Amino acid sequence: MTALTLARMRADVAEMLGEAPEDISTEENLMDLGLDSMRVLGLVLAWGNTGIALEFSHLAEHATLGGWWTVVQRLQAQASASA
C-alpha cells in the first residue's frame, strides 16, 4: 500500500472543492472553503485504502489540512510500528 502524503491530501481536498491544490493552505479552515461532512467521509474512505486506520472522528476534531496531516502522520507511524 502507498503511504498517504500531504501532497495527495491537498490534491484530493482541492478536487472535492473544485480548486487548484496550491490554493489550499494547510492552515485554512476547510469547512469555510465549503468542505462538508459527506465529502470528508469520502476522503476518509479513499485515504483509508492506504492502510491506515483513519476514521471520520479523527478528521472531525480538526478543521485544517495541517491538522489532518498531523493525524495521518501519527496513524502512519502507529501502522509502521505494528507491522
Q: Is 34 left (phi over 0), alpha (psi -120 to 50) or beta?
A: left
For residue range 64-73, what is the model confidence (pLDDT) as tens digits?
A: 999 999 999 9
Domain containing residue 67: CATH number: 1.10.1200.10
- What is the span of the domain harbouring residue 13? 6-82
Give the number of domains in the chain. Answer: 1
- 1 lies in a domain? no
- 45 lies in a domain? yes
Q: Which three cell numbers stand for residue 41?
A: 467521509
C-alpha distances in Å from residue 9, one per residue of 2, 58, 73, 81, 83: 13, 15, 12, 22, 23
For residue range 18-44, what is the model confidence (pLDDT) as tens digits?
A: 999 999 999 999 999 999 999 999 999
Closest by CA to 24, choosing from 32, 13, 34, is 13
